[in-house]
């Protein structure tokens, strides 16, 4: 039987049982699950190993790659600019990034770019996978690229390019890369173990990822999906895992603990209050989470409801029963969510990836058990 570390209030005993059952079924290598209710950490448990050889136990300092779950952090950073009056969701991307107006993209708004409507889900033309490590090069290509579908007519998930679109918008307005802003504005002031661009000094506590044995099933093979996921250059490559850890790519290279993610999402669920400070106004949280588009996604094989960078639970029901719940999931199973109706934030991270695109059964069991304890 797996040894579970951490704490959970007695009314959440079923969460520990579900966590143990995931390990007993052989579905986990190492994992952590955290729930924050009205600003209080009520569940924070971890177990298993941080390495594939099972020699390094998972502990409270283990950092986990979170892949697209980092988009929830990126969406929060953009929302802070909106809250400061430096950016609006309704203005055009080209208003702050003039080069983006090329190839018929002058009318694309910030909210369309943030809700995967820009038609830039990936690059159809052949490229070196190492090009993803050159921020300016990728942003120049996105600025010059013609959309793969008419912007604003449908969503098509931008798995990697989202990070460059959101990150360059942020940089053009704020002057900093997202990784620096994350450290200076959220991580360091509030003790949140969240990173875009991991320094070498933290490498020793990163969990090794065990890749899934199969590819996700997209259910279709259209140009938007192929560009997003199915080309040899759809993901960064050619420079080894250390380069990806160091890279400040908000859509792909984030690292975090479940506790840090849950505390951030818990703040978004509780009117923006984090440890007695206001990190976002309730009005802007509502704007960030508000539905921008709903319907069959051109890339993901689901009907999606998108906010300004956030997945909305109303169509996917991945994070409990709340229709107002929002968050993001990442490749392999990680997720982070905020439920403003119950002032609940939660996060799950792990290093044994599944092939599920969105609705991984492991966090679903934990989240259902957590709601049972409310």
Which residues are marked as active site? 68
- Residue pair 128/207 in contact (Cβ under 8 Å)? The answer is no
311 forms bridges with which residues in the sheet? Answer: 306, 327
What is the per-residue burial (b if ≥16 Cβ within 10 Å, else e) of 170-189? bbbbbeebbbebbbebbbee
Q: Element (H or E) spanning 328, and its range? A: strand 326-329
Coil/strand/helix, residue 155: coil
Two structure tokens written together for 204: 């020793």
Which residues fall within 8 angstroms of residue 100, CB to CB, at 6 or more apart? Answer: 93, 94, 108, 142, 143
Alpha-carbon dihedral 287, 293, 296, 300, rounded to 10 degrees: -50
- Residue pair 122/147 in contact (Cβ under 8 Å)? The answer is no
Residue with the two structure tokens 């990936």:
122
Residue with the two structure tokens 């094989």:
301
Q: Element (H or E) spanning 195, and its range? A: strand 194-196
What separation in angstroms does the CA of 361 have from each of 96, 294, 309, 333, 354? Answer: 41, 24, 23, 9, 9
Distance between CA 9 and CA 228 in Å, rounded?
Answer: 42
- Residue pair 208/50 in contact (Cβ under 8 Å)? The answer is yes
């Amino acid at each position: 039987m797996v040894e579970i570390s951490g704490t959970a209030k007695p009314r959440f005993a079923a969460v520990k049982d579900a966590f143990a059952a995931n390990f007993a079924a052989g579905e986990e290598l190492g994992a952590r699950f955290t729930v924050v209710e009205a600003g209080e950490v009520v569940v924070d448990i971890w177990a298993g190993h941080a390495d594939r050889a099972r020699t390094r136990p998972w502990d409270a300092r283990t950092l986990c790659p979170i892949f697209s779950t980092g988009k929830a952090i990126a969406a929060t950073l953009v929302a802070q600019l909106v809250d400061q009056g430096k950016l609006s969701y309704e203005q055009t991307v080209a208003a702050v990034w003039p080069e983006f107006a090329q190839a018929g993209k002058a009318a694309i708004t910030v909210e369309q770019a943030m809700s995967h409507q820009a038609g830039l889900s990936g690059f159809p033309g052949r490229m070196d996978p190492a090009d993803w490590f050159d921020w300016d090069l990728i942003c120049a290509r996105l600025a010059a690229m013609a959309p793969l579908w008419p912007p604003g007519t449908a969503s098509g998930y931008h798995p990697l390019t989202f990070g460059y679109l959101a990150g360059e918008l942020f940089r053009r307005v704020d002057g900093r890369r997202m990784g620096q802003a994350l450290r200076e504005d959220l991580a360091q002031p509030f003790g949140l173990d969240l990173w875009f661009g991991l320094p070498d000094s933290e490498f020793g506590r990163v969990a090794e990822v065990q890749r899934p044995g199969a590819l996700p099933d997209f259910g279709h093979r259209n140009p938007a999906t192929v560009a997003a996921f199915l080309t040899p250059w759809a993901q960064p490559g050619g420079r080894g895992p250390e380069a990806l850890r160091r890279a400040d790519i908000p859509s792909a290279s984030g690292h975090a603990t479940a506790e840090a993610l849950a505390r951030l999402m818990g703040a978004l669920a509780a009117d923006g209050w984090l440890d007695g400070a206001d990190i976002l106004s309730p009005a802007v949280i509502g704007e960030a989470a508000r539905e921008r588009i709903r319907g069959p996604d051109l890339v993901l094989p689901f009907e999606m409801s998108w906010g300004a960078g956030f997945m909305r639970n109303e169509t996917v029901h991945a994070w409990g029963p709340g229709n107002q719940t929002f968050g993001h999931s990442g490749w392999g199973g990680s997720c982070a969510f905020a439920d403003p109706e119950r002032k609940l934030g939660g996060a799950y991270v792990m290093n044994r990836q599944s092939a599920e695109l969105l609705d991984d059964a492991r966090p679903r069991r934990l989240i259902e058990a957590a709601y049972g304890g409310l």
